[in-house]
Every structure is written in C-alpha cells, then in structure tokens.
C-alpha cells in the first residue's frame, strides 16, 4: 500500500486539510480558498444588486459577514464545491434527491467529504480499506 498523506489541523482550516487529504497532497492553500470565497461573495453581491442597490435587502446584505468564510479560516460547502470543480468533480449530498436518483452505492465510492459540528474531514478508500483522514486525528 502506498503512503497515505494526512495533513494535520492548523487553526480552523479544516476545509483546506480536508481537500488536501482527499487529493493526497498540498493542493490547496488558505489563500486559494479565500480567493474562491471572495469570488462567491462578489457573485452573491451582484445577484443581490439586481434587486436594486438602494433596497433594504441589499443594504442589509452588505452589512452581513461572508457566508463563505469567516475570520477563523472556516470555509463553506460552496467554497469546497467550487474548489472541487477545478478538478472536474461534483459534490453530491447524501441526503439529496440527486443522490437517491443516481442509486449510488457508498461501498463503490472512493471518498467522502464529511461535516460534523462545523468541522470538515475526508473519509477515503485506499485499496479495499477505508481511512478516516480527519485532520484532528493524530495519525493513521
């Protein structure tokens, strides 16, 4: 079996560690994920502006913090989804109608991105064995 890359937790950068553990290398940095978050924020701002830049909704929106990242380094599912798109991958939520419609058998998949109590982590298969690559865990 090949060596398993297991990036450990730094700050609240669990999304970065989750993605790097998924791809088995240092593919994403906090700067790159923050750039994706800012791009998503700008797209959301432009959509909100379509309703009028003088509207109460727009002004209230501008007062809210980003929903895509916070000051601790936490990134949203939207940031993770857009990061995966760079690799031609899609996110399919396990509880979504799309997942049910596809009839996916989890045993046949190679990896899962999970979120538990605002913490992102990867579960990935190597050969026939599954490994929990949670960045908070000590080692494999």
Report d(CA 5, CA 75) in Å as an integer.
Answer: 21
pLDDT at 120 exceeding the cut of 80: yes
Catalytic-role residue among 38, 41, 70, 119: 119
Q: Give a yes or no: residue 122 inside a domain.
A: yes
Q: Kindly indicate the confidence band of residue 81, based on its pLDDT and cuts at 50, 70 and 90.
A: very high
**pLDDT for residue 129:** 95
Catalytic-role residue among 6, 14, 17, 18: 14
Predicted TM-score of the model (pTM): 0.88
Known catalytic residue: 114? Answer: no
How many domains does one find in the chain? 1
Which CATH number goes with the domain that contains 81? 3.90.70.40
**pLDDT for residue 87:** 94
State the residue range of the domain holding 23: 14-132
Q: What are phi and psi of 10, to 5 degrees?
A: -125, 125
Known catalytic residue: 119? Answer: yes
pLDDT at 88 exceeding the cut of 80: yes
Known catalytic residue: 14? Answer: yes
Q: Give a yes or no: residue 31 inside a domain.
A: yes
Pairing between strand 120-126 and 129-132?
Answer: antiparallel
The rounded mean pLDDT for the chain is 92
Report d(CA 109, CA 8) in Å as an integer.
Answer: 24
Q: For residues 30-39, b (16+ Cβ closer than 10 Å) or e, as one string?
A: beebbebbee
pLDDT at 54 exceeding the cut of 60: yes
14-38 pLDDT per residue, tens: 999 999 999 999 999 999 999 999 9
pLDDT at 1 exceeding the cut of 60: no
**pLDDT for residue 140:** 61
């Amino acid at each position: 079996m090949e060596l398993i890359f297991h990036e450990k937790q730094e700050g609240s950068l669990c999304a970065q560690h989750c993605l790097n553990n998924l791809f088995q290398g240092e593919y994403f940095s906090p700067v790159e994920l923050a750039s994706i978050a800012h791009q998503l924020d700008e797209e959301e701002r432009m959509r909100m502006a379509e309703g009028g830049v003088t509207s109460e909704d727009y002004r209230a929106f501008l007062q809210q913090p980003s929903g895509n990242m916070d000051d601790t380094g936490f990134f949203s599912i939207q940031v993770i989804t857009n990061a995966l798109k760079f690799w031609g991958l899609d996110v399919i939520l396990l509880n979504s109608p799309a997942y049910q419609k596809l009839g996916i058998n989890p045993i046949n998949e190679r990896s899962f991105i999970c979120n538990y109590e605002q913490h992102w982590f990867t579960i990935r298969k190597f050969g026939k064995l599954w490994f929990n690559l949670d960045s908070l865990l000590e080692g494999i």
